[in-house]
Structure 1
Amino acid sequence: MTFPLIKHVRAFVVRGGGADYHDQGSGHWIDDHIATPMSRYPEYRQSRQSFGINVLGTLVVEIEAADGTVGFAVTTGGEPAAYIVEKHLARFLEGASVTDYEKIWDQMYFSTQFYGRKGLVVNALSGVDLALWDLLGKLRKEPVYQLLGGKVREELQFYATSSRPDLSKKLGFIGGKMPLHHGPAEGEEGLKKNIAELAEMRERVGDDFWLMLDCWMSLDLNYATRLAHEAHKHGLKWIEEALSPDDYWGYRDLKKNAPKGMLVTTGEHEATRWGFRMLLEMDCCDIIQPDVGWCGGITELIKISALADARGVMVIPHGSSVYSYHFVITRHNSPFAEFLMMAPDADKVVPMFNPLLLDEPVPVNGRLKLDDKPGFGVQLNPACKLHRPYTH
């Protein structure tokens, strides 16, 4: 089969929800006194938006083929990422074949290595890669999961991330992950409050429902170890992203020191096969959690997952809506998925990247069957105002 060549690449920015799910209005649970690395400063403790978690906004990448077919994807990175896509990365796609995703990824990564490797640049690269897979699926008239080898199960099952795991249980999810509200700077009183919140939630949900804690890079090794042992008394399934993503040595020691039966998880803010190789070879965690919109896209997630599979480590991607669903359903070492509860009070299921995507699937009773729409099966909402800050 011969495919039309790539004609044009475009990058847009949009504000208000979307892939930058922290870009919410006031009163949302996702911005209510959650422990962060900035919690050591009292003035930045109450709100993550106060220190700029939402400054970038959502990046939208469109890739148009010569026949007019358009693939697209969304991730974070906003205007700086749009500049990188338009001014640097586009040259490696325009005039190329959509099937050359391995070569295109290699050229994007190594051409930006002198100022990239992780973070913003890899976010931009990931958005391009995902848009490329969406375009390939549309040209082949197949869903992305079919391009990845097909389903290994008929439906996805989810745990929910929110402030209210008790409500998530009623909505049919298999578990609930809570944000940690108090970091080391709040001392012993804060630690006691964290444990009290967990104990109260355990009482609400009963003994058999999974409970996890998302620590969002906010702890040191001593505090994380103490928290893990105290939380173990209340049946905590895992402790997530407790330390800085650069502290591989700390994660290695936390995994050694954690109570038997408790899982240590991380990787949301890790990138590429080389970053995850460090986590895996140093035995830093039981589950890796790459975000497909941040780690290098589908092309790189395939490699990351293979590394983990060879070591018997599960891959449970960080919540990234359809972009992770199409991958998870094709991998045996990804037995369930994450769903971010984006309703302000975490009391109902709404599309994760609302309002940006049309036809974005959501779980019902904690489960979801993917349809056979081509690509990732979603469309951009024309009511969302896209801004193209740069051209090339």
Structure 2
Amino acid sequence: MTKIARIEPIPIEYPDPNDFGTIRRTVLVRVETDDGIVGWGESIAMWPEACKATALVVREGLTPILLGEAIDIEALWVKMRRHVWWYGEGGVASLAISGIDMALWDIRGKLEGQPLYALFGGLKHDRLLANASSHVNKKGEAACVADVEGFFANGFRSTKLGFAKKGESNIGGDPDTDVSFIRALRSALGDEAGILVDIGNGVRWDVDTAISVANRMHDLGIGWYEEPLYVSDDAGYRKLRANTKVRLASGEREFTETGYRRQMEFVQAVDVYGVDPARVEGITGFRRVDALATQYGKTVNAHAWSTGITTAASLHLSLASPNTEVFEFKPFPVIVQDELLAEKIWHKDGWAYPLHGPGLGIEVQEDVVRRIAMA
């Protein structure tokens, strides 16, 4: 019986052209079996101290309880959660579980000679609409509009735009400026283009402002309106839901099935849930949240905005889910998408298609991993 022989957390860092070369960080997890099969996962910790802490939990907390264990993913997922009972149910513990769980699924697919979507019950979609997910950060409205026009010229059929990000743009925070940008964008792209708005953590609106902007943007045909209020403002989201017809999105800062269940059962305001398998206790955690979405009639959007490893996991999960609509890509070249894998995951004519190789269906370039590993 195949057993776990080695687990290695590898914090990495790299410049991201989407944010003018800002250094981004994450933790890759390499798991190897006693018969030499290697699986890859990711824990999207992002901040340097969180990456170090996540790697520590993987190395000193979870590795000792997993070495020598057979590849029984559900049992190992439960074992990891029980181990972190005192400091878990979110945060660094959930990130650490995510990377290991993802790598174990990669191994299981390779052992069975099947792509992950086949292990999840098969494809629910033959393809998904390709979405260029980017930050609005150029100087002036015209430059920001031109940036997005370039995505569509390169074949994308939808875009998701993060406001109030690093850069030279004044988009994000001033309601009139933000609505003006979406109006100009709609005029430039036409009625059929998908436009999704991510208001961003840098914006601090009260609920009445969020309602006003929501209704003005709804008239411009946006597909959804993401996190215009702080994520824990339950009363604000309920009031917003009652006063706008635009779909509301949130969830990318949740860590566990419990958190999403609370949102769906108690808050009852969100239509589209962002779910990241590198954050929500892995592929196993994602599938549990996806099952909740099926139960409550919600849409799921994989927050795949990191390395090609998470992109691969998110693509399998998205195509095997009945609850998904689009798939996000980074529209700018970046090492963790363009060089980390032997073959970049990319759209074809504006659509995201399945990966058919076993496991995640990717070949990680270990020399690149070592080159961008944090010192």
TM-score, normalising length from structure 1? Answer: 0.81
Q: Which whole-Å CA distance do the structure 1 matches of 2:93 and 2:358 have between them?
A: 28
Is the counterpart of residue 332 in structure 1 residue 322 in structure 2? Answer: yes
Q: Which runs of 5+ in 2 are unaligned?
A: 46-50, 137-146, 305-309
Is the counterpart of residue 294 in structure 1 residue 262 in structure 2? Answer: no
Is the counterpart of residue 146 in structure 1 residue 143 in structure 2? Answer: no
1:321 maps to what in 2?
311
Cα distance change, pair 383–304 in 1 and its aligned pair in 2 (3 A): same
What amino acid is the match of 1:64? E
1:157 maps to what in 2?
129
Secondary structure of residue in 1 paired with 2:159? strand
**Which moved further from structure 2: 115-124 or 297-306?**
115-124
What amino acid is the match of 2:38? V
Q: Which whole-Å CA distance do the structure 2 matches of 1:75 and 1:363 have between them?
A: 24
**Which moved further from structure 2: 65-74 or 165-174?**
165-174
2:4 maps to what in 1?
6
Q: Which whole-Å CA distance do the structure 2 matches of 1:128 and 1:336 have between them?
A: 26
2:340–2:369 CA contact under 8 A, matched in 1? no
2:307 maps to what in 1?
none
Q: Which whole-Å CA distance do the structure 2 matches of 1:68 and 1:93 have between them?
A: 16
Compute the displacement of 1:291 (Å).
Answer: 0.9
Compute the displacement of 1:314 (Å).
Answer: 1.1
Secondary structure of residue in 1 paired with 2:149? helix
Is the counterpart of residue 278 in structure 1 residue 275 in structure 2? Answer: no
1:92–1:104 CA contact under 8 A, matched in 2? no
Cα distance change, pair 351–147 in 1 and its aligned pair in 2 (3 A): farther
Q: Deviations over 1:264-300 (max 9, x none)?
A: 0111111211100111112121111111111111111
> 1:11-90 residue pairs with structure 2 within 5 A?
11-16=9-14, 23-24=15-16, 28-30=17-19, 54=24, 57-77=25-45, 78-90=51-63
Compute the displacement of 1:224 (Å).
Answer: 1.8
Compute the displacement of 1:202 (Å).
Answer: 0.9
Q: Deviations over 1:180-201 (max 9, x none)?
A: 2389xx9999222111211111
What amino acid is the match of 1:9? I
Compute the displacement of 1:355 (Å).
Answer: 3.0
Is the counterpart of residue 229 in structure 1 residue 215 in structure 2? Answer: yes
Q: Which whole-Å CA distance do the structure 1 matches of 2:335 and 2:351 have between them?
A: 14
Is the counterpart of residue 204 in structure 1 residue 188 in structure 2? Answer: yes
Q: Deviations over 1:217-274 (max 9, x none)?
A: 333323322221222232222111222222233222222222x2x1101111112111
Number of residue pairs matched by the alignment: 347
> 1:164-175 residue pairs with structure 2 within 5 A?
164-175=147-158
> 1:205-284 residue pairs with structure 2 within 5 A?
205-217=189-201, 218-220=203-205, 221-258=207-244, 260=245, 262-281=246-265, 282-284=267-269
Q: Which whole-Å CA distance do the structure 1 matches of 2:20 and 2:220 have between them?
A: 25
Secondary structure of residue in 1 paired with 2:366? coil
Higher helix share: 2
What amino acid is the match of 1:215? I
Q: Which whole-Å CA distance do the structure 2 matches of 1:146 and 1:158 have between them?
A: 21
Cα distance change, pair 251–92 in 1 and its aligned pair in 2 (3 A): farther
Q: 2:107 aligns with which of 111, 121, 135?
A: 135
1:41 maps to what in 2?
none
1:182–1:193 CA contact under 8 A, matched in 2? no
1:304 maps to what in 2?
289
Q: Which whole-Å CA distance do the structure 2 matches of 1:251 and 1:123 have between them?
A: 26
1:353 maps to what in 2?
337
Q: Which whole-Å CA distance do the structure 2 matches of 1:130 and 1:358 have between them?
A: 19
1:160–1:340 CA contact under 8 A, matched in 2? yes
Secondary structure of residue in 2 paired with 1:160? strand
Q: Which whole-Å CA distance do the structure 2 matches of 1:79 and 1:128 have between them?
A: 16
Cα distance change, pair 325–119 in 1 and its aligned pair in 2 (3 A): same
Cα distance change, pair 272–31 in 1 and its aligned pair in 2 (3 A): farther
Is the counterpart of residue 94 in structure 1 residue 75 in structure 2? Answer: no
2:349 maps to what in 1?
365
1:122 maps to what in 2?
94
What fraction of aligned residue pairs are identical, expressed as a percent?
27
Q: Which runs of 5+ in 1 are unaligned?
A: 17-22, 33-48, 344-349
Moved over 6 A (4+): 186-189, 387-390
